A and B are shown apart, each in its own frame.
Chain A
Amino acid sequence: MNVIANKWIGQRTIRPDGADKVTGRACYAADNTMPGMIWGKVLRSPHAHALIRSIDTSKAEKLPGVKAVVTAKDLVDFPVDKPVPLGIQDMRWMSRNIMAREKALFHGHPIAAVAAINEEVAAEACKLIEVDYEVLPHAIEIEDAIKPHAPILHDFVRFEGKPSNIAGTMVNKVGDVEAGFAEADIVIERTFTTRPVHQGYIEPQACTVSCTADGKVTIWSSSQGQFMVRAMTSFLTGITQSNIRAIPAEIGGGFGAKTIIYLEPLATVLAKKSGRPVKMVMTREEVMRATGPTSGSRSTVKIGAKKDGTLVAAQGTFYLQAGALPGSPLRGPVGCSFSPYYIPNILSTGYDVVSNRSKVAAYRAPGAPLGAFAAECVIDEICEKLGLDPLEFRLKNSSKEGQKAVYGATFGKITFEETVEAALKHPHYKAPLDKNPRPGVKRGRGVASGFWFNAGGESSAQVNITEDGNVAVTTGHPDVGGSRASIANVTAELLGIDHSRISVLIGDTASIGFSNLTGGSRVTFASAIVVTQSTEKVIGQLKERAARIWKIDPDAVTWENGEARPAGPNAGKFPPLSLEDLAAKANEMGGPIGAGTQLNTTGADPGFATHIVDVEVDVDLAIVRVLRYSAVQDVGRALHPSYVEGQIQGGVVQGIGWALSEEYLFDKQGKLENAGFLDYRMPVCSDVPMIEPVMLEIPNPKHPQGVRGVGEAPIVPVLAAITNAVHDALGKRFCDLPLSPPRVSAALDAAAE
Chain B
Amino acid sequence: MAKVHVTTTINGEPEEFLCEPHQSMLDALRGPLGLTGSKEGCGTGDCGACSITLDGRLVCSCLMLAVEAEGKTIGTIEGLAQGDHLHPLQQKFLEWGALQCGICTPGVLVAAKALLEKNPDPTETEVRFWLAGNLCRCTGYDKIVRAVLETAADMRSAA
- Could you list which residues of chain A lie within 8 angstroms of chain B, going by C-beta atoms? 12, 14-15, 17-19, 21-28, 30-31, 199-204, 250-255, 281, 283-284, 480-482, 485, 640, 642-643, 645-647, 649-654, 676-678, 682-688, 690-691
The answer to whether A685 and B47 touch across the interface, beta carbons within 8 angstroms, is no
B42's partner among A642, A676, A691 (CB-CB below 8 A) is A676
Which chain B positions have C-beta within 8 A of A26?
A: 102
Q: Which of A18, A201, A643 contacts B137 (CB 8 A)?
A: A201
Shortest A713–chain B CB gap in Å is 15
Chain B residue at smallest Cβ distance from A14:
B94
Contact (Cβ within 8 A) B96 A686: no
- Contacts of A677 on B, CB cut-off 8 Å? 41-42, 44, 46-47, 135
The reply on B104 being an interface residue by CB < 8 A is: yes
Convert B134-159 into 0s and 1s, putting 1 for each residue whose CB lies closer than 8 angstroms to a CB of A.
11111111111110000000000000
Let me know if A682 and B90 touch, CB within 8 A: no
The 8 Å CB contact of B77, one of A12, A24, A28, is A24
Given A646-B143, A676-B42: A23 and B81 interface contact (C-beta under 8 Å): yes
Among A654, A684, A688, max chain B CB count under 10 A is at A684
- Tell me the bound Cα distance from A334 to B90 in angstroms: 44
Q: Choose from A14, A645, A651, A685 the contact partner of B131 (Cβ within 8 Å).
A: A685
Q: Can you list 15 residue pairs at the A/B interface with Cβ under 8 Å? A: A19-B94, A21-B105, A23-B77, A25-B37, A199-B137, A203-B101, A284-B43, A481-B100, A649-B143, A653-B139, A654-B140, A677-B42, A677-B135, A683-B141, A687-B132
- Contacts A21-B102, A685-B144 aside, 4 further interface pairs with beta carbons under 8 A come to A25-B37, A642-B97, A646-B138, A682-B135
Chain B residues with Cβ below 8 Å from A27 are 36
A688: chain B residues within 8 A (beta carbon): 140-141
By secondary structure, the A interface counts as loop
Residues on the A chain within 8 Å of B66, using CB: none
The 4 A-B pairs of least Cβ separation, nearest first, read A24-B37, A252-B103, A642-B97, A21-B102
Complexed CA–CA distance, A18 and B93 (Å): 9
Out of B30, B90, B103, which one reaches A253, CB within 8 Å?
B103
Task: List residues of B (21-65) whose CB comes within 8 Å of A's CBs.
Answer: 30, 35-44, 46-47, 49
Note all chain A residues with C-beta closer than 8 A to B86: 19, 22-23
Nearest chain B residue, comparing its CB with the CB of A654: B137
CB of B13 closer than 8 Å to a CB of A: no
Residues of B within 8 A of A687 (CB): 132
- Inter-subunit contact A686/B128 (CB<8 Å): yes
Q: Could you tell me the distance between the alpha carbons of A24 and B104 in the complex, rounded to whole angstroms? A: 10
**B78, CB-defined interface residue at 8 Å:** yes
Assess whether B18 is interfacial by the CB under 8 Å rule.
no
B19 at the interface (CB under 8 A from A): no
A650 and B138 in contact (CB under 8 A), knowing A202-B47, A676-B46, A684-B132?
yes
**Smallest Cβ distance from B10 to chain A, in angstroms?**
13
Question: Contact between A22 and B90 (Cβ–Cβ < 8 Å)?
Answer: yes
What's the Cα separation between A30 and B62 when bound, in Å?
A: 15
Task: Choose among A28, A482, A652, A653 the residue that contacts B103 (Cβ–Cβ < 8 A).
Answer: A28
With a cutoff of 8 Å between Cβ atoms, the chain A residues found around residue B90 in the complex are 22-23
**Interchain CB contact under 8 A, A284 and B101:** no
Look across to chain B and name the residue whose beta carbon is closest to the beta carbon of A120.
B20
Chain A residues whose CB sits within 8 angstroms of the CB of B80 once the complex forms:
22-23
**A691, B42: Cα distance in complex, Å:** 26
Which residues of B have CB within 8 Å of A651? 140
Residues of A contacting B100 in the complex (Cβ-Cβ under 8 angstroms): 253, 480-482, 643, 646-647, 650
The residue from A19, A203, A642, A653 contacting B39, defined by CB atoms under 8 A apart: A203
* List of A residues within 8 angstroms of B127 by Cβ: 685
Residues of B within 8 A of A283 (CB): 43
| B contact residues around A200 at 8 Å (CB) | 135, 137
Does A678 lie within 8 Å of B94, measured CB to CB? Answer: no
**A61 vs B20: C-alpha distance in the bound complex, in angstroms?**
25
**CB neighbours of A251 from chain B (8 A):** 101
A204 to B42, CA, bound (A): 8
CA of A642 to CA of B92, assembled, Å: 13
Report yes or no: B42 in contact with A690, Cβ–Cβ below 8 A.
no
A253-B137, A653-B141 are known contacts. Are A481 and B101 too (CB-CB below 8 A)?
Answer: yes
Return chain B residues, CB-CB under 8 Å to A643: 97, 100
Interface presence of B99 (CB below 8 A): yes
Residues of chain A with a CB closer than 8 A to B78's CB: 23-24
Known: A203-B39, A684-B132. Contact between A252 and B101, CB under 8 A? yes
Instruction: Give chain B nearest CB distance to A521 CB in angstroms.
Output: 14
Nearest CB on B from A639, distance (A) = 12
Residues of chain B within 8 A (CB-CB) of A676 are 42, 44, 46
Q: Is the CB of A685 within 8 A of B143?
A: no
Q: Which chain B positions have C-beta within 8 A of A24? A: 35-38, 76-78, 106
Q: Does B95 contact A (CB under 8 A)?
A: yes
**CA distance in complex: A252, B108 (Å):** 14
B140 adjacent to A204 (CB under 8 Å): no
* CB < 8 Å neighbour of B104 from A19, A202, A481: A202
Q: Is B43 a contact of A17 with CB atoms below 8 Å? A: no
Chain B residue at minimal CB-CB distance from A687: B132
Chain A contacts for B49, CB-based, 8 A: 202
How many angstroms from the CA of A512 to the CA of B135 in the assembled complex? 34
CA distance A750 to B134 in the complex (A): 37
Contact B38 A650 (CB under 8 A): no
A481 to B93, CA, bound (A): 14
Nearest Cβ on chain B to A13's Cβ, whole angstroms: 9
Q: Is the CB of B39 within 8 A of A652?
A: no
For residue A328, give the distance in angstroms from its CB to the closest CB of chain B: 22
Q: Is the CB of A12 within 8 A of B39?
A: no
Q: Which residues of A contact B94 (CB under 8 A)?
A: 14-15, 18-19, 22
Per the bound structure, the CA–CA distance linking A685 and B81 in Å amounts to 25
A524 nearest CB across to chain B (Å): 13
Query: For residues 103 through 145 of chain B, which have their beta carbon under 8 Å from a beta carbon of chain A?
Result: 103-106, 109, 125, 127-129, 131-145
Q: By the criterion CB–CB under 8 Å, are B102 and A17 in contact?
A: yes
In this complex, what residue of A is CB-closest to B100?
A481
Task: Determine if B139 and A650 form an interchain contact, defined as CB atoms under 8 angstroms apart.
Answer: yes
Assuming the contacts A19-B86, A676-B44, asked whether A202 and B139 have C-beta atoms less than 8 A apart, the reply is: no
Asked if A252 meets B141 with Cβ closer than 8 Å, knowing A202-B47, A677-B46, the reply is no
